[in-house]
Structures are given as C-alpha cells and as structure tokens.
Amino acid sequence: MPEPVDNKTASAAAEAEAEPAAEQPELRRRRDRRSGDDSDTRTGTMPIIAANEAESRPPIPSSSWAEAAAAADTPATASPAKPSKDPVQMPAAPETAPAVPAKPARAARSASRAAAQAAPVPDFISSPGSFVREQKPRPVGGFRGALYAMTGGGINFGPGARQREEDELARRISRQLQGSYNTAVLSLKGGIGKTSTTVGVGLTLAEYRGDPPCAIDANPDSGDLVERALGEGIYQQQSPRTITDLLKNIDSVDTLTDLARYMHHAGRFHLIAGEQDPEVSDSLTAEEYLRIRRLISGYYSVALTDCGTGVTHNAMSGILQSADNLIIAAGYAVSGAKRARSTLHWLADHGYEELARNAIVVITDKDEVSSRVDKDAIEDHLSGICRQLIAVPHDRGVADGDLVTLDVLRPETRRAYKEIAAAIVDGYV
C-alpha cells in the first residue's frame, strides 16, 4: 500500500503547483521584453550581433569569469566614427581668405595644350634665321665701303642710300617670271638711240637675270643689232646666219642646241641677226615673225625685238600683236619728241591703246643738243602719255654707233639702262 502522505506536505505541494500556473503570464511578458531588447540578462539566449559590431569588439578569451570581467573593464580602442545621416556642419570660412589663383577649366587646359602642340617649333631646317643674327649687307664704295675695308669688316654701317637704290633695281630686274615675255623697241625716226637702247638693256638683263635674254633684229632696213652687240669685226668672222636662215630650217629646230646654231652670243645675251641683203630684208611678214616668236618663247623668258624705223612695215602687226610692252625711243630734239608723241597716238588709234598707256619712253641725249632746247619741257610733254619716262645721258660709248659694252659706259648711263630693264620687268609681273 502506498505510504500515507503528511497533510502539510500535501498542501505545500499543491500550493507550489498552483503558483507557477498563476505566474505564467508574467514570465511570458518578461521574456518577450528581453527578446525585444536583445538582452541576455538572466537568460540562456545569445544576443544577435551584427558583423561590423563583432569585428569592432575586442575578443574575450575563453577563461575564468574574473579574466572576462577584467577584459570587459579595460577601455576599448575607439573605433572610427560612422558617417552620420545628418548634414555635416562645416566650419565657417574666414572673412579674409588668402588669394588662390583659380585653375583653368579642363577644357581650357586641353585647348591650350593642343595649341602648344600644334604650334610649329623652330628648327635649323625650317627656320634657320631664328638662330642666326641678321647680317648687314656689305657697303661698296664711298666712305662706308672704305671704312669697312680698313677695319676688315669690324665696322659695318651698311650700304648707303645710293647703294640701296642700286640693290633695289637689281632685285626688280632679277625677279623670276612665269612664262615668256616680249618687249618691242620702236621709233618713227632713225638715229635716236633705238638699237643702242636694245643692246644696252639686253646686256643689263643678262647681267642681273638668272636666265639669259634674247633679242630679235626685225629691222627691215638691214639692221645692225648684232654688230652693235659683238662689234663689226667679230660678227664678220662668225658664220653670218640670219633670221632668214632660221625661217628656212625652223621645222627642224626642236631643241635649244639646234636653235643656238642660228644665234649669236654677246656673253649671256643671245641675238638673232637681221637680214643684211637689201633684196630680202623687207620680206619678213607678220606670220613669219610670229613663228620665230613662238619658237623663242619655248626657251627664253625675256625677249627684245628691235623693230626698226616706222610702224607700218610688213612684220609690224605681228610684233605688236605678240608684244607685252613697248619702248618708244626719242631724242631731245624737237622733231624727235614730236615723233615719239605721234607714235603713241598712232598706237592708241589703231587698237593698241593698252600698249601705248604702258609704254616706256626713253630719251637719249645722243648729240648734246644746244642749250636753247628746254629738256624739262620735252620731258613734261611726253611723261603724261606713257607709264614711265627715262632719260639716258650723253655717252660717247653709245654715240659712236659702234660696239656697245657696259664696261666703257658712264655710271649714269649704266644706271639709266638698269632703270629701263627694271621698268620692263615691272610690266611683266
């Protein structure tokens, strides 16, 4: 049989069973609160720890409770502050901040860098003048030239005004030309310096130009162009081939070497002699002259044509048709000035107004006219109806009617020929 139970014991057991039942709701509420704030006080549950929190907390060694407590009491290393969601309050800027140059925008810097790279950098090949000081031209003659020679070039004042003018004339004469050009030299009266002007200007062109000039004697009256350039004796010693010989064999002339057989050479000045036989000297037609001119244009950039006296002979229409500019020869005599003016009027009235307007009138003081002639009045009379008027002073090297060479001419005469040559090339460019 079961042992009898004491009444007190039984009553105590019944109270103990009844008390937990009465406290059950309160315990549940506590547990819910603890689970809500992740507290592990008096519970066996582990709190939920985020990964970043676990890394920031110092590790607790698995030892006795005293060591764990000592580790907990030690101040932990301050972890970096997390960025706050609230706007950051920046400190106020000082009232007088130091001036800092503003940096250019990226687009501006890129543009300036591209411009610097695109700009050509001077080098010894493309810009040699950037590395060498410009040297003054050497003075020739006069006090400046003498001082330069005495000091061995140590003192150089440069050329004077006269030399600078001469250098400018040389530059104008020597300009490069694109194509072939022809200047006709004509007059209505003989013996006033037409042929001597052709020779003097031709020799001057040959002296200063890189390519040799050519002259054609188209005078129908047994012209003496070659004799004035070479001398009568030398011309007679050479094979006297003339413009008539060239016309007979023009179809077989294909090279400059072939053409040279029919030409005469006064240095670099090349000439085609006129016909000396009176029976055939006036037979040159305009068509024949144009054939000669077309042949010459393939080898020479500058040609002069000595037209002879008058403007109505057979070849004259071909000469004027192919001329780029004209030289009208005149003299200081009253008759010579009148004929020069008449020539210009005739040209303007017969369809050559442009040639007349751009003509160069050359007055040669060949015989030293008397003091009764007003040279200034004659020059004024002619200068208004042409592009330029140039006077050639009296020179015995021209007046003799024989060989014309630059070496024996006066400096003033040589300068006049240089001015004529420069004016001719001016009409080409």
> Which pLDDT value is given to residue 193?
86
- Whole-prediction pTM: 0.67
Which residues in the chain land under pLDDT 70?
1-134, 233, 235-239, 278-282, 367-370
CA nearest 405: which of 219, 231, 223?
231
- Of all helices (H) and strands (E), which one includes residue 390? strand 388-392
Q: What is the pLDDT of residue 142?
A: 77
pLDDT reported for residue 353: 92
Supply the pLDDT for residue 102.
57
What are 337-368's pLDDT values in tens digits?
788 888 899 899 999 999 999 999 999 887 66
The pLDDT tens digits of the residues spanning 97-122 come to 555 555 556 666 666 666 666 666 66
Task: Say what the pLDDT of residue 359 is.
Answer: 95
